[in-house]
Amino acid sequence: MNQADLSKLVSALRIAVKPKPRLFASPEGPAGRLRKLKATVTALVKYERIELNYPRAEEAQGYAERLISDAIRNGDCHKHTMEMADYWLDEKQLIHKLFKVLVPRYKEYNSSYTKLVLGPKTYPGYYAGTAILELKGNPFPALQPATQNYHYWLHNVLLDEAKREFRVAKAESNTNLSEPVASKN
């Protein structure tokens, strides 16, 4: 049984976090894994929407969310947060973007800050294909339509009408139950 680490306070992430990290074998070992994820997180903050392979996208999503949540919780005067931002963002103007643009954008959010959408698989088979990782609130047109349900679709029209009829019938039956008592007298 392990005791939770108390040295840092972290915000709860609003994405699904898997219990074990992916290893991403590379000639440099674990240092290489973090170097590649660093490049992905930098690109995400720079371009706000990137297309890449699904496994790396999912790992980078976690790190990006952690970075943004730390920046929101602690602000730019916090030494540790600034060190993390300095490490994870290769281009230094992106540190400015993180604290001055992304933090005010995501301060009031109750959901996750990134979105991971599955992309095309260029060849059939059982492997994770591509994915599109984007920061929410980006200026590009949406990848998926905003709402799925429209009230003017035929089946929605029919359902709404059926619900209305049910409510009316129920109200009538309630009044019928109370009326016979009154009419007898």
Binding site for another protein (CB under 8 A): 1-19, 21, 30-31, 34, 54, 59, 62-63, 66-67, 70, 73-74, 78, 80, 83-84, 87-88, 108, 110-111, 117-121, 126, 128-129, 143-144
Compare residues 47 and 116 and give the one whose CB is closer to another protein.
Answer: 116
Compare residues 120 and 180 and give the one whose CB is closer to another protein.
Answer: 120
The least distance separating another protein from the CB of residue 34, rounded to whole angstroms, comes to 5
Both tokens of 50, joined, read 């990137």
The least distance separating another protein from the CB of residue 65, rounded to whole angstroms, comes to 9
Both tokens of 163, joined, read 């619900």
The least distance separating another protein from the CB of residue 14, rounded to whole angstroms, comes to 5
The length of the chain in residues reads 185
The bridge status of strand 49-53 relative to strand 114-118 is unpaired
Q: Write phi, then psi, for 121 (nearest 5 degrees).
A: -100, 120
Both tokens of 36, joined, read 């590649």
Compare residues 21 and 167 and give the one whose CB is closer to another protein.
Answer: 21
Of the candidates 85, 137, 134, the one whose C-alpha atom is nearest the C-alpha of residue 108 is 137
Largest Cα–Cα distance of the chain, in whole Å?
A: 94
Compare residues 27 and 120 and give the one whose CB is closer to another protein.
Answer: 120
Under the phi-then-psi rule, with left for phi > 0, alpha for psi from -120 to 50, and beta for the rest, what region is 75?
A: left
The bridge status of strand 130-135 relative to strand 49-53 is antiparallel
Compare residues 78 and 97 and give the one whose CB is closer to another protein.
Answer: 78
The least distance separating another protein from the CB of residue 8, rounded to whole angstroms, comes to 6
The least distance separating another protein from the CB of residue 100, rounded to whole angstroms, comes to 20
